[in-house]
């Protein structure tokens, strides 16, 4: 189980096991820190910027996360699986 | 006025992972797989549908809808509407027969909301799953939610007025329902048949957004069973089961594994030519969209692929 800090105007955190996406882990604990959309990497609603920590990702819609953005640490939290404690920033649907 | 468009015939949906998508659409939604092609696309149909396919899945780097196809009466209608589309100002592309397995020549065109559509006259008929001579009530080996057919799609885009001109004036759809904010039409439901909608649009600031593909179930009981299956399989839920005010369909919304929204629904209104257009006022929009909760849901309104 990893500790996930979400940096925003109101900082929140939750615990997430490695087999759950960050968004799934957050929803499992009824925490509201990141927007919940399709939960399938398709809609861009749960966009975050990863500030710190190890992780793996599943395929994300290139319409919402370009290759350049991915290189800068942006990701869709429904497709990010933690491999260490993490610190992320909620970006939302922009 | 009817101009020879029969109705919604197919939709090609982009998915991020084909194996996950096939599990979803075939084993969970309950469509029947009818073919695969050299591009890796997978073809499916509902068990009541006679034509070879109504859903085509294509693996891509983004989710969303490639195009939606409408069947027309014959090749004369196809040629005539092709010219009408050009005269209207659409960019028209001729797709040769066989580009989709079992489908005749298609006329592809763009639209004021940025979506791509197609007309075609011929598609291989494989028949209903129960056959067409002394058929039984339903096939015994259906899976999951037992979707009977692709029914309609709902699309988001900016130019609803242009879209209405295209579908009503050029293609001969009837405007069955609308939602109005003063003089601004924020939703429009269109049909060429007795279905309350073959296609619907909601106004947004974007172009080419895909809100959902909808599949018909037989009953409200089946909508509730779909809801049970969504929980059993931990499918991403959007909202429901509930009823819409618009069309009055009994409904549940969920997402495929790539984030494309699906609806399964039963019941609701039907349309007969000559019926007045049903109008929903903006201040009743909550009830129009979710008849029981009577309030709008941010995710349903804004999440698209």
- Averaged pLDDT for residues A66-73: 95
Q: What is the share, in percent, of chain B residues with pLDDT greater than 70?
A: 100
Give the per-residue pLDDT at B78: 98
Q: Which residues of A touch B62 (CB under 8 A)?
A: 42, 61-64
Give the per-residue pLDDT at B1: 80
Give the per-residue pLDDT at A8: 83
Tell me how many residue pairs between chain A and chain B have CB atoms under 8 A apart. Answer: 67
Task: Tell me the pLDDT tens digit for each residue of B226-244.
Answer: 999 999 999 999 999 999 9
- pLDDT of residue B59 exceeding 60, the answer is yes
- CA distances for B189 relative to B5, B207, B245, angstroms: 16, 18, 13
With cut-offs at 50, 70 and 90, classify the pLDDT of residue B219: very high
Contact with chain B for residue A1, Cβ under 8 A: no
Q: Which residues of A touch B61 (CB under 8 A)?
A: 59, 61-62
- pLDDT of residue A93 exceeding 60, the answer is no
With cut-offs at 50, 70 and 90, classify the pLDDT of residue A92: low
Task: Tell me the pLDDT tens digit for each residue of B91-126.
Answer: 999 999 999 999 999 999 999 999 999 999 999 999
Query: Which chain A residue has its CA at the smallest distance from B65's CA?
Result: A42
For residue B63, the distance in angstroms to the closest alpha carbon of chain A comes to: 5
A63–B64 C-beta distance less than 8 A: yes
Give the per-residue pLDDT at A11: 87
Q: Which residues of B touch A (CB under 8 A)?
A: 16-17, 61-64, 236, 255-261, 299, 302-305
- pLDDT of residue B81 exceeding 90, the answer is yes
With cut-offs at 50, 70 and 90, classify the pLDDT of residue B46: very high
- pLDDT of residue B247 exceeding 80, the answer is yes
- pLDDT of residue B146 exceeding 70, the answer is yes
Question: CB–CB of B187/B179 below 8 Å?
Answer: yes
Pick the catalytic residue from B25, B43, B156, B253.
B253
Secondary structure (H, E, C), chain A: CEEEEEECCCCEEEEECCCCCHHHHHHHCCCCCCCCCCCCCCCCCCEEEEEECCEEECCCCCCCCCHHHHHCCEEEHHHEEECCCEEEEECCCC
Q: What is the share, in percent, of chain B residues with pLDDT greater than 90?
A: 96
- Averaged pLDDT for residues B125-151: 97
With cut-offs at 50, 70 and 90, classify the pLDDT of residue A9: confident
Q: Is B24 marked active-site? A: no
């Amino acid at each position: 189980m990893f500790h996930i800090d979400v940096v925003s105007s109101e900082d929140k955190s939750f615990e997430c096991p490695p087999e759950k996406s960050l968004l799934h882990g957050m929803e499992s604990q009824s925490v509201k820190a990141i927007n919940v959309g399709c939960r399938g990497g398709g809609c861009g609603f749960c966009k975050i910027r990863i500030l710190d920590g190890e992780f793996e990702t599943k395929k994300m819609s290139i319409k919402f996360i370009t290759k350049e953005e991915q290189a800068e640490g942006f990701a869709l939290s429904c497709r990010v699986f933690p491999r260490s404690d993490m610190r992320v920033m909620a970006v939302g649907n922009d | 006025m009817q101009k020879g468009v029969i109705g919604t015939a197919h939709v090609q949906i982009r998915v991020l992972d084909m194996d996950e998508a096939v599990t979803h659409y075939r084993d969970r939604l309950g469509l029947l797989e009818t073919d695969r092609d050299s591009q890796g696309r997978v073809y499916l149909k509902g068990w009541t549908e006679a034509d070879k396919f109504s859903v085509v899945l294509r693996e891509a780097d983004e989710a969303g809808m490639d195009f939606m196809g409408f069947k027309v009466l014959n090749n004369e209608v196809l040629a005539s509407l092709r010219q009408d589309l050009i005269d209207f100002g659409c960019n028209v592309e001729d797709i040769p027969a066989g580009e989709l397995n079992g489908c005749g020549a298609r006329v592809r065109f763009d639209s004021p909301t940025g979506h791509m559509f197609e007309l075609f006259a011929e598609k291989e008929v494989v028949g209903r799953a129960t056959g067409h001579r002394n058929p039984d009530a339903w096939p015994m080996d259906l899976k999951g939610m037992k979707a009977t057919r692709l029914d309609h799609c709902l699309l988001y885009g900016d130019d609803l007025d242009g879209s209405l001109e295209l579908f009503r004036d050029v293609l001969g759809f009837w405007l069955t329902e609308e939602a109005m904010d003063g003089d601004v039409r924020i939703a429009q439901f269109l049909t060429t048949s007795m279905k309350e909608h073959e296609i619907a649009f909601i106004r947004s600031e974007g172009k080419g957004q895909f809100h959902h593909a909808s599949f018909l179930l037989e009953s409200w009981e089946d909508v509730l069973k779909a809801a049970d299956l969504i929980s059993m399989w931990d499918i991403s839920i959007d909202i429901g089961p509930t009823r819409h005010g618009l069309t009055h369909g009994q409904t549940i919304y969920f997402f495929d594994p790539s984030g494309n929204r699906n609806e399964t629904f039963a019941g609701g209104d039907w349309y007969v030519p000559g019926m007045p257009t049903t109008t929903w006022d903006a201040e009743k929009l909550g009830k129009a969209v979710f008849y029981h909760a009577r309030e709008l849901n941010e995710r349903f309104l804004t999440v698209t692929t």
